[in-house]
A and B are shown apart, each in its own frame.
Chain A
Amino acid sequence: AQSVTQLDSQVPVFEEAPVELRCNYSSSVSVYLFWYVQYPNQGLQLLLKYLSGSTLVKGINGFEAEFNKSQTSFHLRKPSVHISDTAEYFCAVRYSSASKIIFGSGTRLSIRP
């Protein structure tokens, strides 16, 4: 079955510390991968995407992610977080055989001063 797994429901980190949010997807020949951010009481904003090409993709707000086909992972990283990064982060995948995007269950990132 097509699925996305975010292993951590909550990740607390201190301000200016690095962070990694983990994401794995069920294997397929061709996938498109996304990370969306949802700030409190707001909609979904695209952070970054992997469609093809370089496996390291850079997004907005200093975030980056690396596509690892052998491990079917697409982990999100930021070298130094800020209070304003407090939000819920959703990993998502679109399989080439379908139009829908499948979302993970989300990881709530909380930043401590």
Chain B
Amino acid sequence: EPEVTQTPSHQVTQMGQEVILRCVPISNHLYFYWYRQILGQKVEFLVSFYNNEISEKSEIFDDQFSVERPDGSNFTLKIRSTKLEDSAMYFCASSGGQHEQFFGPGTRLTVL
């Protein structure tokens, strides 16, 4: 069964450093998303992406964040200058339509 994959599973970085989280959505999906879950809290929406542009973003998704689909298979989330409060589990999701979203296993980001 096709699935969303994410790399790395765990990323440790120093505050102020740039990180890129990578996702490979399900191959025939057209809609892509990033969510995050701070430890012990609910899952929060960050951004949705369709047709090579951002279709919706939350107030969390400020200028420090960017997304890109550099080729036909990858979908990336970049954080330019990480802060301590960016430590969280980041989930990528993809969708073939606009209803069910399939989630990846997540990347745990730890900012020291």
Output the nearest chain A residue to B41 by Cβ-Cβ distance. A105
- Measured CA separation A14–B44 after assembly (Å): 31
- How many contacts between A and B, using CB within 8 angstroms? 52
- Measured CA separation A81–B101 after assembly (Å): 26
Query: Is the Cβ of B99 less than 8 Å from the Cβ of A43?
Result: no
Q: How many residues of B contact A (CB 8 A)?
A: 24
Main secondary structure of the interface of B (DSSP, over half): strand
> For chain A residues 19-46, which have a beta carbon within 8 Å of chain B?
32, 34, 36, 42-46
Q: Which of B12-20, B63-71, B102-110 contacts A (4 or more CB under 8 A)?
A: B102-110
Nearest CB on A from B51, distance (A): 12
Out of B33, B48, B56, B100, which one reaches A49, CB within 8 Å? B100
Tell whether B73 is near chain A: CB-to-CB under 8 Å. no
Nearest CB on B from A88, distance (A): 10
Contact surface of A with B, Cβ cutoff 8 Å: 32, 34, 36, 42-46, 49, 51, 90, 92, 94, 98-106
